[in-house]
Structure 1
Amino acid sequence: MNISKSEELFSRAQQSLPGGVNSPVRAFKSVGGNPIFLQKAKGAYLYDVDGNQYIDYINSWGPMIMGHAFEPVVEAIQKKAMDSTSFGAPTELEIETAELIKSMVPNVDLIRMVSSGTEACMSALRLARGYTGRNKFIKFEGCYHGHADSFLVKAGSGVATFNIQTVPGVTAGVSADTLTAPYNDLEAVKKLVAENKDEIAAIIIEPVAGNMGCILPQEGFLEGLRKLCDLEGIVFIFDEVMTGFRLAQGGAQERLKIDADLVTYGKVIGAGMPVGAFGGKFEIMKHIAPLGNVYQAGTLSGNPLAMIAGYTLLSHLKSNPFIYAELEQKGEYLKNGLQKVLEESGQPFVINHMGSMISVHFSDKPVVDFATAASANNTFFNKYFHGMLDRGIYLPPSAYESWFLSHALSKEDLDRTIEATKKNVTSGQF
C-alpha cells in the first residue's frame, strides 16, 4: 500500500497545525505511525490521497449511519446552499427539525440547537446547575462529554488515548465541582451523593459508552441512577451524542427503556455537519434564555445547511425503521465472525457490541469500565490496527474508541473484515 502523498501532507501539516491535525486522535499517536489523509468517501468506503480504498468503521465517528455521501443528504445540502449558507435569524426549517426530533423522542418537550456535541453537553450541565441551584455534578471515569473544562476530569476518548491525567488550564475549582465514579458502579455513585448531600446538580453519562471502547451498562445500573436522581432531585443527563438516533429511532432511551431529564445530541443529528442539540422536559428547558435566565447562545446555531442535512437523514431513518434491524444483524454477523477467527489466535479478547456499535479489547476479563479497558493489552490492539489498515480496513486509531457500522456495509465488506482479521492471526501478526 502506497501512502507517500499522505506522508508528504502530514509533514506539511505539522508546519501549520498543532501536531499536524485539528483533533488529537487523528494523529495516530496512540497506535503509532502517521495518519492517512483522506480525499473522498462513498457508501462504506474511504479513499485516501494516494488512491487506496478502505472499508470504513469510523464513519466520521458515528454520523454516517447510512454511509458516506448519502445521496438524499447531499442533494438536500446542495439545494439549500443556493439560498445562503447562514442567516443568523430564525427559519422554518429549525422548527421542522425540532418537531421531527420530538416525534422520534417522546420525552423531549423543547430542544435547543447548537454547533457541536461539546457545546450541547456544556450547555446541558449549565442548565442543570441553573435549574437546581447546585454546583457539583457526577460524571463517570472514561466517559467523554467534549472538551469543556468540567468534562476533562478523568475523561475517555482522546484524553485516555494520550494518557493525559491532568489537563493544564482546568482550574482546581472546576475540578473540585466534578465528582467521578467508575462506570457501572452504582454503589460508588450512591456514596458520592451521600457525601455531597443536596450539592449535586446533575449526573451525566453515556448510556452506552463509546469513548473507552464500546461499554454496555450492566443490568440495573441505569435504572438505579434514575431512581437515585428522582430521590435526590438530581437532573439525569444522557449524553447521546454517539447513541442518539443510532441505537434506535429514539436512541439509547428507547433501546434501554430509560428516560433521562435532559439529553444531548450530535453526530447523526447533523448527518456529518457540525451540529449538536440538547433538550428535555419543559420544566427544565424553560429556564434557558430567552424563556429563562440560564444564558446560552450561538451565532451559527440552527445553521440551514446543518438543519437540512440532519432533517433529511432523520426523516429517512424515521420512514425506514427496518434500517435498525438490519444494522443489528450486521453487527451480530461481524461480532460472530471476529469471535471465531480471534479464538484461533490464542490471545485473550473481549468483543463488546450493541446495535451498530462494537469494539475489540485484547483482555482476559470482561471490559465493563475504564479500568478494565485500560488494563487490556492495547499494544496488541495497535498491532491489530496496523495489520487491518494494511489490508484496507479503517478502524478507529485508538483502543479507547467504539467502531461504528453503517447501513452501507455489505455482507462482502463484513466478510473482508473478518478475513483480514484471520490473515492477521495466520500471518503471525499477533
Structure 2
Amino acid sequence: MNHQQSEALFSAAKNVIPGGVNSPVRAFKSVGINPIFIEKAAGSKIYDADGNEYIDYVGSWGPMIMGHCHPKVVEAIQKTAASGASFGAPTARETQLAEMVSEAYPNIEKVRMVSSGTEATMSAIRLARGYTGRDKILKFDGCYHGHADSLLVKAGSGLATFGVPTSPGVPADFAKYTLTATYNDLDEVKQMVAANDKEIACIILEPIAGNMGCVPPVPGFLEGLRELCTQEGIVLIVDEVMTGFRVAFGGAQERFNVRGDLVCLGKIIGGGLPVGAFGGKKEIMDSLSPEGGVYQAGTLSGNPLAMSAGIATLNILKEEGFYQQLEEKSAYLEKGLLQVAGNSSVATCWQRVGAMFCTYFQQGPVNSFADALNSDTETFSKFFRNMLDNGINLAPSQFEAGFMSVAHSQEDLDKTIEAAEKSFAAL
C-alpha cells in the first residue's frame, strides 16, 4: 500500500507535536513503521490520507461498538451542536445519561461525569482516600488506569515494598504510596494487605485486563478481591473504562457478577467523544464536593455533545439482541483465526471475552503481565504489518486488545480471516 501522504503528514507533525502524535501508542514505534494518518471512517472501515481502506478492529480503542459514524449518534451530535457545544453549567442531558448508567450498573447510585478515563480513575482514587482516611493504594502490574502520577508505578523488590516511578516527572514520594501486585494472584494481594494493615484506601483493577492484551480474571480472583475489600474496609475500584458496556450492557461486573464500590467508565458512554465518569455507593460519592470535602472539578465535565452521543449510544445498546450479534461475530472471527493459526507453525494464543480479544504470539495461556511479556513481539510486528498491507487495522501493539463492532459484516470477517492466512504464510 502507498503511504506517501501519511509519511508527509507525520513528518510535518513531528515539527510541532512531541513525537508527531498526541498519544504514544499512535506512533507505531513497537511495530517498526510510521503511523497511518486517518482521514475518515464509516461503519467497520477507516480510510487513511492516501485513500487506503482498512477493516478496523481498533474502533478508537473501544468506543465504536456500533461502528464509525452511526447515523443516530451523528444526528444527536449535530442537533446538540446547533444549540451550543459547551455552557459550563448543568444540562438535563447530564442527569439523563447518569440515570442510564445507574440503570445498567445497580452499584452506581450516584455518578460524576468527567472528560477522560484518566480523570475518572485519579478522581476515584482521591475519593477513596478521602472517604477512608488512608493514603496507600494497590494496583496490578500491567493494568493501565491513565497517566496520573500515582499510577505510573511498577512493583518494588518485594511484597511489602512500595512502588517506584516508571516515568520521569513522577516524584518517588508519590510512588511510595502505591503498591503493585500480580494480576490474578489473590494470595499475593492478601499478603500485601496484611503487610499494610489498615493503610490501604483502595484496590483498583481492570476486571478484564485490556492493556496487556486481553486477560480475563481467573475463577475466584474478582470474588476474592471483593471479599477481602469488604473485610478490610478497602474501597474496590473497578476500572471499566474499556470493558464498560462492551463485554455486556452492565460491563464486566454484570458478566462476572462481582460489584465494585466505585466504578470508572469512559469510551462507549461518550459515543466516541472525549468522556469519562466515576460512580458508586451513595455514601462514598457524597464525600465529593460540593456535598463533601473531597474536591474534584472540570469545566467541560458533562459536555453536551458527549452526553448526547452517549445517550444515543446507550439507547441502541439496550435494543434486544445487540450483544448477541456482537458475540456471534466475535465467535466467528475467533473460530476462523484459530483455524488459520492452527495450520501455521507459529506459536499463538487467542484470548477473548465477548467483543474484546487478543492474539498473543506465544503458547499461552496469558494470566498476568509477566506471562504477556513472554510473547514474541518481533513476530507480532511482522504480522501487524502484513495485516495492514492486506487492509486490516489492528492495534499497533502486542499488548493492546482488539474490538469487534456490530458494523462488521460477514464479508469483513471472511476478508480478515483470509488476510490472516496470507499474513501467517508470510511470517
- Report the TM-score range of the alignment, normalised by the length of the smaller protein: over 0.9
Correspondence for 1:401: 400
1:385 aligns with 2:396: no
Deviations 1:209-239 (A, max 9, x none): 1000010100000000000001100000000
- State the alpha-carbon separation in 2 of the partners of residues 370 and 83 from structure 1: 47
Whole-angstrom CA distance in 2 between matches of 1:154 and 1:368: 18
Amino acid at match of 1:381: F
Deviations for 1:55-76, whole angstroms, at most 9, x for unmatched residues? 0000000000000000000001
Distance in 2 separating the partners of 1:354 and 1:249 = 14
User: What is the aligned partner in structure 1 of residue 237 from structure 2?
Assistant: 237
C-alpha deviations, 1:147-171, integer Å up to 9, x for none? 001111139xxxxxxxx97210111
Alignment pair present for 1:43 and 2:54: no
Question: Whole-Å Cα distance in 2 between the matches of residues 424 and 305 of structure 1?
Answer: 40
Q: How does 1:108-123 map to 2 (within 5 A)?
A: 108-123=108-123
How far residue 332 of structure 1 moved from its aligned partner, in angstroms, is: 1.1
Provide TM-score, normalisation by structure 2.
0.97
Q: Which residue of 2 aligns with 1:9?
A: 9
Unmatched 5+ residue regions in structure 1? 156-163
Please give the secondary structure, in 1, of the residue aligned with 2:351.
strand
Aligned partner of 1:202 in structure 2 is 202
In structure 2, C-alpha distance between the alignment counterparts of 1:169 and 1:240, rounded to whole Å: 27
> How many angstroms does 1:91 deviate by?
0.8
Q: Which residue of 1 aligns with 2:270?
A: 270
Aligned to 2:77: 77
Maintained 8 Å contact 1:149/1:174: yes
Post-superposition, which runs of at least 4 consecutive aligned residues in structure 1 deviate over 2 A? none
Q: Check whether the contact 2:152–2:165 (CA below 8 A) recurs between aligned residues.
A: no
SS in 1 for 2:154: coil
Aligned equivalent of 2:161: none
1:147-226 aligned within 5 A: 147-154=147-154, 166-226=166-226
Q: What is the match of residue 65 of structure 2?
A: 65
Q: Distance in 1 between matches of 2:51 and 2:314?
A: 32
- In the TM superposition, what whole-angstrom CA distance separates every residue of 1:29-77 from its partner, at most 9, and x where no partner exists? 0111100000000000000111100000000000000000000000010
Secondary structure at the aligned position of 2:130 is classed as: helix
* Partner Cα separation in structure 1 for residue 410 and residue 181 of structure 2: 40
What is the alpha-carbon distance in structure 2 between the residues aligned to residue 19 and residue 365 of structure 1?
Answer: 33
**Aligned partners of 1:223, 1:202: CA distance in 2, in Å?**
16
User: SS of 2:197's equivalent?
Assistant: coil
Q: Which SS does the other structure have where 1:140 is aligned?
A: strand
* Structure 1 residue identity aligned to 2:179: L
* Structural mapping, 1:290-329, within 5 Å: 290-318=290-318, 320-329=319-328
Residue 340 (1) aligns with residue 339 (2):
yes
Shift of 1:186: 0.3
SS of the aligned residue for 2:415 comes to helix
Cα distance in 1 between the residues matched to 2:165 and 2:67: 35
Look up the match of 1:364. Answer: 363
Contact (CA 8 Å) 1:331, 1:354: kept in 2 or not? no
How far does residue 19 in structure 1 lie from its aligned partner after superposition? Answer: 0.5
Cα 1:165–1:285, aligned 2, differ >3 Å: closer, same or farther? closer
Give, in whole Å, the separation in 1 of the partners of 2:93 and 2:141: 38
Question: Given residue 381 of structure 2, which amino acid in structure 1 is its aligned partner?
Answer: N
Gaps of 5+ in 2: 156-163
Contact 1:344 1:425 in 2 (8 A): no
TM-score, normalising length: structure 1:
0.96
How many Å separate the matches in 1 of 2:43 and 2:293? 44
- How far did residue 383 of structure 1 move? 0.5
Deviation at 1:261, TM superposition (A): 0.3
Aligned residue for 1:30, secondary structure, equals helix
* Amino acid aligned to 1:335: E
Shift of 1:146: 0.3
Paired position in structure 1 for 2:259:
259
CA distance in 1, matches of 2:361, 2:66: 29
The alignment-based identity, stated in percent, is 59
Q: Secondary structure at the match of 2:31?
A: coil
**Which SS does the other structure have where 1:84 is aligned?**
coil
Residue-by-residue CA offset, 1:254-273 (whole Å, 9 max, x unaligned)? 11111110000000010110
Q: Cα distance, 1:321 vs. partner?
A: 3.5
C-alpha distance in structure 1 between counterparts of 2:133 and 2:315, whole Å: 38
Q: Write the distance in 2 (CA, Å) between the matches of 1:323 and 1:154.
A: 38
Verify the 8 A CA contact 1:249 1:321 in the aligned structure 2. Answer: no
| Per-residue CA distance 1:164-214 (angstroms, 9 max, x = gap) | 972101111111111001110001100100000000000000000100001
Aligned residue identity for 2:331? E
CA distance in 1, matches of 2:165, 2:402: 24
Residue 417 of structure 1 deviates from its aligned partner by 0.7
Structure 1: which amino acid aligns with 2:27? A
Shift of 1:100: 1.2
The letter for the 1-side match of 2:177 is D
Which position in structure 2 is the counterpart of 1:374?
373
1:247-303 Cα offsets, whole Å, 9 max, x none, are 111111111111110000000010110110000000110100111000000000011
Question: Aligned-pair RMSD on alpha carbons?
Answer: 1.1
